[in-house]
Every structure is written in structure tokens, then in C-alpha cells.
A and B are shown apart, each in its own frame.
Chain A
Amino acid sequence: GENVEQHPSTLSVQEGDSAVIKCTYSDSASNYFPWYKQELGKRPQLIIDIRSNVGEKKDQRIAVTLNKTAKHFSLHITETQPEDSAVYFCAASIGAGNMLTFGGGTRLMVKP
């Protein structure tokens, strides 16, 4: 089955700096890669996703890149703010209706 690895497990940045979180996946059939933000005690919230027919997608301060050949994808957050502090999870799926396999999570701390 699919295996998703995520790095780093913790990331501390100064407010205004950029943060990058990286994930690798094992199943070449995976074609949908969402990113979720989870604040303490809350539900995972979808923040951005990318599909395998696209190499990069951007939404304001957040961008995701995908390298299908290397089977890795990354989340980039620019101009970080304290409210970006949370745990971020990457995930992979073979498509709509199919299970998500999650990475281990990255605890992002943005210091004011």
C-alpha cells in the first residue's frame, strides 16, 4: 500500500520567514495530494491540494509543488504569521472517493 513520509517533524521559523515542508510517497498510482492544517484539538482543515497533472499551485501565501518522477511534493508558506502555527499533514490518494494516506505531520511554530 501507499506510504507517505513527511519532513521535518518540527519546524520553527521567525515571523515573516518562509517555511517548507516536504513529503514523499511510494505508490506511483497516487494522483491527488492534499495538505491539511490542524490546530490543537481541532479538525484537519484542507488548505490546498494538487493533482498529478499539475506541477505547482499557489493560493496567496501558500504554494504546493509536485514532482511525479521523484514522487515528492512540498508545501511552501511565505511571510509566515503566528497564526500559521499548527500541525501540517500531507496526504496522498489514488483519486476521488479513495482513502487518504497521511504523512506523520509537521509541527510548525512561528515565533513573533
Chain B
Amino acid sequence: EPEVTQTPSHQVTQMGQEVILRCVPISNHLYFYWYRQILGQKVEFLVSFYNNEISEKSEIFDDQFSVERPDGSNFTLKIRSTKLEDSAMYFCASSDPSGRGEQFFGPGTRLTVL
């Protein structure tokens, strides 16, 4: 069964550094999402992406964040200048709009900002 994949599984960075988190959505899916989960807390929506543009974003998704689909398979989240409070698990998800709309999550990237 196809799954969403993410790399790296764990990223450690210094405050102020840029990080890029990578995702490969399920191949026939057209909607892509990023969510984050601070340790022990609920999953929070960051951004959704469809037809090569952002379709929704939350208040968390400020100017420090950007998303890109650089090619036909990858979907990336960039954080330009990381802060301590960006430490969290970042999940990518994808959904097929012609299906039931279920969102399938990747395994996550644990980002630790020191």
C-alpha cells in the first residue's frame, strides 16, 4: 500500500539556521499538507497546497515558513530562521480529491532547535 514518506526522520539545527523538510506524497494525490505536533500536544495545521499554490494557511505559518513542490514528487517545507519554539514533529500529509478526501500522514520529521 502506498505511503507518504518524509526525510530526514530527525533534524537537529542551531537557532537561526535554515532547515528544509522533505516529503514524498502518495503519487496520485493532489492535495498536500504540513502539520506540526509539539511534544505531548495536539496536531496543528500549518499549510495546504494544491495546484502549485497555497490554498490555506494557519497563523503559525508566518513569513519564516515557505512550501514548494520543486518537482513532480517532492513537497518541501522550509523554515528560514529557526527558533527554539519551532522544535516539534512535522508531519506531511496528502489526499486524493477524487476520493473520499482522507488525509494520509507521513512518519514525521522531528526537528530539534538548539
> Are B45 and A100 closer than 8 Å at their CB atoms?
yes
> Are B105 and A45 closer than 8 Å at their CB atoms?
yes
Among candidates B45, B48, B105, residue contacting A97 with C-beta atoms closer than 8 Å = B48
Give the interface of A toward B (CB within 8 A): 32, 34, 36, 42-46, 49, 89, 91, 93, 95-105
Closest residue of chain A to B92, judged by CB? A43
> Are A46 and B102 closer than 8 Å at their CB atoms?
yes
Give the interface of B toward A (CB within 8 A): 31, 33, 35, 41-45, 48, 50, 55-56, 58, 91, 95, 97, 99-108
What is the bound-complex CA distance between A95 and B104, given in angstroms?
15
Set of chain B residues within 8 Å of A45, measured between Cβ atoms:
105
Beyond A96-B101, A97-B50, 10 additional pairs, beta carbon < 8 A: A42-B107, A43-B108, A44-B43, A96-B31, A97-B55, A97-B101, A99-B45, A100-B33, A100-B45, A105-B42
Set of chain A residues within 8 Å of B108, measured between Cβ atoms:
43
> Are A102 and B43 closer than 8 Å at their CB atoms?
yes
What are 6 A-B residue pairs whose CB atoms fall within 8 Å in the complex? A34-B102, A43-B107, A44-B105, A91-B43, A100-B43, A102-B43
Q: How many A-B residue pairs have CB under 8 A?
A: 59
Closest residue of chain B to A107, judged by CB? B40
Among candidates A36, A97, A102, residue contacting B31 with C-beta atoms closer than 8 Å = A97
What is the bound-complex CA distance between A104 and B41, given in angstroms?
7
Set of chain B residues within 8 Å of A93, measured between Cβ atoms:
101
> Are B56 and A98 closer than 8 Å at their CB atoms?
yes
What is the bound-complex CA distance between A34 and B43, given in angstroms?
13
B38 to chain A, nearest CB (A): 12
> Are A100 and B42 closer than 8 Å at their CB atoms?
no
Set of chain B residues within 8 Å of A103, measured between Cβ atoms:
42
> Are A100 and B103 closer than 8 Å at their CB atoms?
yes
Among candidates B45, B91, B100, residue contacting A44 with C-beta atoms closer than 8 Å = B91
Set of chain A residues within 8 Å of B103, measured between Cβ atoms:
34, 46, 100
Set of chain B residues within 8 Å of A104, measured between Cβ atoms:
41-42
